[in-house]
Chains A and B, each alone.
Chain A
């Protein structure tokens, strides 16, 4: 075990898997000569050569389409999206091809590929470059959609994604790249692409989240503890398939739930979480599930508005107090 950053964890996963299996290759914009806009692929072109580390033109549909073809024929491509906002250009290739080839072929042809990159809000990136896609991609059967919140999960899950048979949407977050955590040294240590986890035990309320918002939930939980409120925090880790067992077990115990997501309320991931909780543990609820979400506007460019458009700890704390009938 060693303490590493999220960025190092992703990078190591890519390098170790490319060393392990010649069929693994990576492609994306500016990942080779320029060494990657987030420095994840620095040095890879030199190490593995241009046949396995491919600089692509600015052509997401072409990149993903090519990768689908490669995967169908036995290669294991990793496609880096500079940000997931640009994946919309490749939406047809992802949703109508990568997600459906196995189904159309009656299970005869797999598409083992990973599309990875950062998503979500940053600092004044403006509306077209600040979006989150877990609820968008999570809606489609045929895709595996994951959003690891820690370096340990990031490395283990990326390895599983690369070694697996499914098309995986691997959602990272630029503000997580610098965060640190324990990462196993063993190059064969994998994390499953399924399974939620209780990362903080508590008795008064269940806070459910994933990716960057998990860290927000933990900070809010620490603050709540000072008022004597002990929150249980569940990290979903994977959006599709969604392992809801731990969430249900938790809500049966605490009787109250708060779902936290970064982006807009209508039709977001928190809606799915709230619906599932209501369906399955209705009788144990003392209050409706409260959703903490971003404001329903395209992301503003002005910093003051941008900060107001995303959730903060105070919003989570307020939601917890609402669901506990305090104030």
Chain B
């Protein structure tokens, strides 16, 4: 009997959350049809049915988080609907996970609900006609709220959906609901924000990094006057708008070709030198930090890197990245320049051995040949894993990197 199990989407994944079921027990499912939406530590996706049949039981409810391999539900021929079989069992991946974004518009179960009976009959006691929207009545029915008690904020005192929900979550509704509704905060309030899968992952991975990995930090102040001018010229002549960070990615990629120890990982018995230069670019999303990867960055020119980073960032913000787009980096770059940060130290993104923290490009007074001149400068700080990269090795890499940034024509030829 085909089981629907929580799939392992990527090496680091140990658990996933059931966001919502598109189908109910007893519904027909077709092969290839999305049955439920799950949330992993990076992206949301739909799980499709591998066979055509009937969803006989749901073992894990919406909102619950389970280990990879847990059985979420059973699809059968319809003869045993509603029979719970338990969520245990680590069977093979019977369900093909669709990497397509969970498309909430594709609700296959096109609203078969029969019209709800109006709660007027249940109110009984009130003689007054209660103005309310059909949806408000439906929600009141679902949550066990007496419509007459709710304050209506719609036209002519109409009770609308928001009114019912607000009442249901308030202390005197007696519905037993305690979770506060998310409303725009007016000033600070003490409250709890449950950890999302993404936030847990960020916490775990970076703690695992800063703990065991012996970090040391090297800072250089770079002259980017020429780089800014080159960027401006490049943006005038070709359609893809490049940012300073796109040049930084290329400079880092080319530098890594000459410093393979910085493009490596620490292993139990060996240092693994990687054969590809895959640069992770840190992107801030509403849920947290994620580093989509520009693969083989040394083979891409600056406009190609710009286009790729923009596409990846867009998909990252919409939680639509595929695993091979956020895994497999060999070096990472984090840029907080757009926030005005001059300089910062970043935590290495395991299993990399280094990370480059890029600050804002600003005009500063510098001394050149005994004279004070105004130049555009940018500070970068490199964090290195001392198990693999010694001080001299890190410094040598930065010297090469400086060469590319301060002679930027070398990045476009």
* Interface residues in chain A, defined as those with a beta carbon under 8 Å from any beta carbon in chain B: 198, 201, 203, 232, 245, 248-250, 252-253, 255, 281-287, 325
Contacts and interface: CB of A to CB of B under 8 A. Distances in A.
Chain B interface main SS type: loop
A285 B107 contact: no
Contacts of A286: 133-136, 160-161
Interface in B137-186: 138, 153-154, 160-162
A284 B104 CA distance: 17
Contacts of B113: 283
Contacts of B162: 325
Nearest to B113: A283
B200 interface: no
Contacts of A287: 133, 154, 160
Contacts of A252: 107, 110-111
B187 interface: no
B136 A232 contact: no
B111 A285 contact: no
A257 to B, nearest CB: 12
Interface of B: 103-105, 107, 110-111, 113, 115-116, 133-136, 138, 153-154, 160-162
What 10 A-B pairs are tightest by C-beta distance, nearest first?
A286-B135, A252-B111, A286-B161, A283-B134, A286-B133, A201-B105, A283-B115, A255-B135, A282-B134, A285-B134
Contacts of A248: 110-111
Nearest to B162: A325
Nearest to B184: A228
Contacts of A245: 110
A285 B154 contact: no
A245 B111 CA distance: 11
A60 to B, nearest CB: 42
Contacts of B104: 201, 203, 253
Give the most central of A198, A201, A283, A284: most B CB within 10 Å: A283
Nearest to A232: B105
30 contacts: A232-B105, A245-B110, A248-B111, A249-B105, A250-B105, A252-B107, A252-B110, A252-B111, A253-B105, A253-B107, A255-B135, A255-B161, A282-B115, A282-B134, A283-B113, A283-B116, A283-B134, A284-B111, A285-B133, A285-B134, A285-B135, A286-B133, A286-B134, A286-B135, A286-B161, A287-B133, A287-B160, A325-B153, A325-B154, A325-B162
Contact of A284 (B110, B134, B153, B154): B134
Give the most central of A252, A281, A286, A287: most B CB within 10 Å: A286
A248 B160 CA distance: 20
A275 to B, nearest CB: 16
Contacts of B111: 248-249, 252, 281, 284
Nearest to B163: A325
Given A283-B138, A287-B160, 14 more contacts: A201-B103, A245-B110, A249-B107, A249-B111, A250-B105, A252-B107, A253-B107, A255-B135, A282-B115, A282-B134, A283-B116, A283-B135, A286-B161, A325-B162
A43 B403 CA distance: 61
A112 to B, nearest CB: 34
Give the most central of B153, B154, B161: most A CB within 10 Å: B161
Contacts of B161: 255, 286
A249 B105 CA distance: 8
